[in-house]
Structure 1
Amino acid sequence: MRQRLRIFAFMYNLLSVAELVYFIVGLYLIDWELADLEHNPLLGPGPEGILKMGGTHTARVIERRQYWRLVTSLFFNAGAIHLMANLGMVWTFGHFLVRELSPYTVAFIFLASGLGGVLVSANVGSENMTAAASIPAFGLAGAAAVMLVLRWRRYACHAASAALVCFIVGCNAFIGATPFVDNSGNTAGLVFGGTLCVSALLVRRKAASSRPREVLLHAGAALLVVAVLAAIIGGLVGLQLDAPVGGCCNQWVCTRSPWWDCDASRIWPTSCAYTTFLNSTSMLTCPRGQQVTIGVVNRTDIGPVLIQQWCDAYCSASGVPVTGGSGSGNSGLQ
């Protein structure tokens, strides 16, 4: 037991130092500029820092084949509060799990549930850029919850233990509702971690009364691992086929609140839509939906370069007021 705890302590210390250094390097690259609390209430960088440090960005994963982001995001935190909360979860639940499982099994649960969760996040939350370090921490939380349920006879103070787990998970789920964190990935990590814990317990079960029963237990354990691996492969296929389902669960990814702005983590289109109407007037629709009336323009002069110039001149992150109404007209260039 002491050997297990020493190995886990070493792994945890290594992870803590790595994530802390990673976070500090990210702040250095953006000249130590933190986003305001409305955009990132976790005391961390804005979109530029999240992007530079390898956060999850589905558009870049698909269009530029930056699949390395699925790994780097697992160790990048959206802010100082996110960092402390995640390391606290890893220590609390990892220290509990290592008493029942080997440190290497705990590490496998951490990495596999994290990778599966970040792929769910990349597909479901494809309209947002995120830091996914909380996903593997939620994987350990799911495994610890399963351990408490399936081996409840081994522990005392069941009500207090259940309340503690619910409190910790609830607090971190609240953090996951903010911009640059994704509760869809956290939930997936929680489920995958619990699934892998069940698989590990089936393999370690020693009460099999017969050889067929032992084979059945091992087959069940293998099926659970295969299910998690299938989810990972399915997520990769979804990205490869450019078929994410972003937009279906935005409230799950980032919950709207007067305390923060979920649009801060949105990945906005980079192009503008241009429309001409029957009265020869033109309307420019900015990436964030603002509309600007251009006026009467010679259609022969309009091309992608001119539209981009208008887009750069009239569209801004702070919003452009609507200066003209919409109407039925010809679809413009995208």
Structure 2
Amino acid sequence: MVRLSVPTIPQAILSSATSSKTISPAAAVERIAEFLAPGNVAVITGAGVSVDSGIRAYRGEKGIYLNPNYKPIFYHELMDESPKGFGFRQRYWLRGYLGYKPVLDALPNPTHYALAALQYKSFVPRLITQNVDGLHHKALAGIWDKHTMQHHVLELHGSLHKVHCKYGHVTDRNTFQHWLSTANPQWKEYADELEATGQKPRTNPDGDVQLEGVSYDDFVVPVCPTCLLEGRQNSVHKPELIFFGESIQPDVKDRSFRDIESSSRLFLIGTTLATFSAFRLLKHALELQIPVLHLNVGPTRADGLPGIEKIELESGKVLKDVVRAVLGSKADEDPVVRKMLVSGVVRPPRDDE
């Protein structure tokens, strides 16, 4: 199994980054549509895809990983049963408690709906997302049932929307949030105040918020009620996402490789490929001589690799037009596609959040 490490782009790539050849949105639409038109395309999405939904990317101009002082919590720290580990869980769950609602309330943007249309029309039978926000699923809600979505969308790094304790008892995240509210009325009051005043803490893609000058010592992490019924005290919980230092489950890893192997082309969107779990899928595609097109703004770990065509544009500016170019008149004739192509919010995070 491969463990998820803190995402990095080699300094040599960052140092040698140059301005890419400019391309007009119209030319980009034509090229992307030409690439997608044969179908059987695998898509890998990253945090950049969700920026228009109000969720900050890890990298980019204001990404959290550009802050050298940022220290994420590692898997072994979160699961440590010593008092030090309990402190890590207090920090994680307080920040996660405040950061989950902005992610829960986020709505799909035009990129999510454009990709959903391409999935619905079978041009993109396999989508692999590094995101844990569930927005690809929201864009397909009402079109596909849960089973169909799971078949066509692979969440490579898991999901924020479920929590499990160390003994495997699974809880819906909304229920867990209620447990946290009940155990921490003072923070419930603070969260209600934020919502009432329209304030949003600066939230990262994994639901973590940035808090300054806050003590975590009094935050209560609730005991698992199922464990209590089984005669044990246990407050070690984690969301069903992959933490730094944690291994991706073998079935997820195996499926991600199969999804690449079953595809004729690979389209990368909004990802720097800084995490090895995604970068190795690109490497696998290149080994299989699968054509690769990369739509992203800024340096990426893949820059300079032979066999990759890169377009530097924001996906939200072109993907709906790409769908229209691929489908032609069918884009207007199909009521499902027609609705998708007029759906989607554009609410990028404010600088003052």
TM-score relative to the length of structure 1: 0.27
Q: Which has the higher strand share?
A: 2
Q: Highest CA radius of gyration, 1 or 2?
A: 1
**Larger RCO, structures 1/2 (Cα 8 Å, 6+ apart):** 2
Q: Which has the higher helix share?
A: 1
